[in-house]
Amino acid sequence: MKRKKWMLLLLFALSLSACRGQERAELSSDAASAESAASESAGGSVGSEETESGVLSNGAKLITVGETQAAAETLSSKIEFQNVDETVYVTGSNINIRKSPGKGGALQGTAQKGQSFRRTGYSKEWSRILVDGKESYIASRYLSAKQSESSASAADAAGSAGQAAQSLSFDPSWPLAANSKIHSGSALLYKADASVSNGKTICVNAGHGTKGGSDVRTLCHPDGTAKVTGGSTSAGSTTATAVSYGTTLKDGTTEAKANLTAALLLRDKLLAAGFNVLMIREGDDIQLDNIARTCLANQYANVHIAIHYDSTDSDKGAFFMSVPEVGTYRRMEPVASHWQEHNALGKAVIGGIRQAGGKIFGAGNMNMDLTQTSYSTIPSIDLEIGDRASDHSPAVQGKLMDGVVLGLKQYFGL
Ligand SMILES: [Zn+2]
């Protein structure tokens, strides 16, 4: 009898300590994610709504996280939203959009100054907004029911059409989307002014620019088969980096940065020419891997153009990555149904660049088996606009992007 009691006591003590251990493990993993959020926030790439408390000192980390969590739990259970139905505008940069109200709510993406949303619920701290038809939450103090002059001019700066962009998040239930591993970021959709709109939407994908993207691997082909050509991932591989870092140009500029300046130029030129534009990224870090980027383009755009600089040093000129002449690859879906469109789009764009006076490499194409092409269900190209030795000044990039617009107009018969 005595022994049994002892055993029970012992069991009780053991289960208590097991619980404690688990609690501590959860807490410290939360601390780790808070730490990375804080360091990203310091880099200016992840959103803010907790500007003051977001930067945690090392010593205070655990306590702060615990408090934040508790506050978040209290908030989401007690929060009462006043039902509203209005358009609101974002007044800050990189503002977090969360799946539930409170600083502990899972991150869904970030919103940019001047962006507009439908607000369906208001409380002093948090607002319920619709992102892609889904209820999401954003700190009320970064929203204004009026488009202020400063946010209007920010929207002007962001898009020459003067319209705020719509934030579009990734949905893992889309076709082929289950293979994506990084997809918490959102793309931005700009609509061309109605007076010039041609109704076509171009996805402009500034290559690279995903923090941590090279530490994660995704399937090269949706069916798990191996890559048929080399490249940054060698032939025969079944997985590739989710988003590689990219090269560095000879003057020290990262390829990701040069791709972005070209993409921003292209965005404005496309909007002026009447195209809608789906921008995959407008900052140094977007948490969207190559598969997520491609699925967003598949969903919301008519064509997909990724912008890159090649890693050679010969200033060889622009070209696109064409679909390799390998039977097994060309018979694999969705490549089988779309490879001719990809190549036709590439030819048109290179033709436009040539007309605009841009330098072209060889015949203007190179066969390459890419994740982008392997998952694209719309005409889609990786466009290399130069290499490490190329001049990437605004003048040269502007000329190249004029060529891309020209090529797209010809592709659509506009
Ligand atoms: Zn690249």
CA of 411 to the centre of ligand 1 (A): 24
CA of 287 to the centre of ligand 1 (A): 17
Q: Can you list the domains of the chain with their CATH numbers?
A: 80-158 (2.30.30.40), 166-412 (3.40.630.40)
3-class secondary structure per residue, 300-317: HCCEEEEEEEECCCCCCC
- Residue 3 has a pLDDT of 52
- Residue 84 has a pLDDT of 86
What tokens were used for 52? 């003051």
Neighbours of 26 (CB within 10 A): 11
CA of 309 to the centre of ligand 1 (A): 5
CA of 57 to the centre of ligand 1 (A): 36
CA of 15 to the centre of ligand 1 (A): 53
CA of 106 to the centre of ligand 1 (A): 31
Q: What is the DSSP string of 120-138?
A: EEE-SSEEEEEETTEEEEE
Enter the DSSP assignment of 228: S
d(CA 134, CA 99): 9
Q: Where are the alpha helices (DSSP H) in 215-367?
A: 255-272, 290-300, 327-331, 335-355
CA of 242 to the centre of ligand 1 (A): 13
Q: How many CA atoms lie within 13 A of 292 on its CB side?
A: 26
- Residue 29 has a pLDDT of 34
- Residue 167 has a pLDDT of 95
d(CA 210, CA 33): 17
CA of 208 to the centre of ligand 1 (A): 6
- Residue 147 has a pLDDT of 64
Per-residue model confidence as pLDDT tens for the chain (414 residues): 445 555 544 444 444 433 333 333 333 333 333 333 333 333 333 445 543 333 333 333 333 333 344 444 445 557 888 888 888 888 887 788 888 998 888 888 878 777 788 889 999 889 998 887 788 999 998 888 876 544 444 444 444 434 579 999 999 999 999 999 999 999 999 999 999 999 999 999 999 999 999 999 999 999 999 999 988 889 999 999 999 999 999 999 999 999 999 999 999 999 999 999 999 999 999 999 999 999 999 999 999 999 999 999 999 999 999 999 999 999 999 999 999 999 999 999 999 999 999 999 999 999 999 999 999 999 999 999 999 999 999 999 999 999 999 999 999 999
CA of 261 to the centre of ligand 1 (A): 14
Q: What are the counts of helices (DSSP H) followed by strands (DSSP E) for the chain?
A: 9, 17
CA of 245 to the centre of ligand 1 (A): 8
With contact defined as beta carbons under 8 Å apart, do 342 and 350 qualify? no
CA of 311 to the centre of ligand 1 (A): 8
What tokens were used for 280? 């995959």
CA of 173 to the centre of ligand 1 (A): 28
Neighbours of 357 (CB within 10 A): 10
With contact defined as beta carbons under 8 Å apart, do 96 and 54 qualify? no
d(CA 126, CA 392): 43
d(CA 331, CA 158): 41
| Cα dist from 405 to 202, 294, 305, whole Å | 10, 20, 11
Alpha-carbon radius of gyration of the chain = 24
| 53-94 pLDDT tens trace | 333 333 333 333 333 444 444 455 578 888 888 888 888 877
d(CA 105, CA 126): 11
Q: Which residues surround ligand 1, an ion (CB under 5 A)?
A: 207, 246, 308
d(CA 283, CA 238): 30
> b/e for 383-401, b at 16 or more Cβ within 10 A?
bbbbbbebebeeebbbbbb
CA of 360 to the centre of ligand 1 (A): 17
Q: What is the DSSP string of 15-49?
A: HHHHHHHHHHHHHHHHHHHHHHHHHHHHTT-S--S
Give Cα 54 distance to the centre of its chain: 23
CA of 160 to the centre of ligand 1 (A): 26
CA of 69 to the centre of ligand 1 (A): 39
CA of 207 to the centre of ligand 1 (A): 6
With contact defined as beta carbons under 8 Å apart, do 159 and 119 qualify? no
Q: Which amino acid is at 130?
A: L
Q: Bridge partners of 254? A: 248
SS3 state of residue 139: strand
Tell which residue, 338, 375, 84, 110, has the closest CA to residue 223.
Answer: 375
Enter the DSSP assignment of 330: H
- Residue 58 has a pLDDT of 32
| Cα dist from 86 to 91, 147, 315, whole Å | 16, 12, 52
Tell how strand 201-206 and strand 276-279 pair up: parallel
- Residue 75 has a pLDDT of 53
CA of 81 to the centre of ligand 1 (A): 45
- Residue 78 has a pLDDT of 75
Q: Bridge partners of 322? A: 367
What tokens were used for 86? 């209005």
CA of 118 to the centre of ligand 1 (A): 36
d(CA 319, CA 317): 7
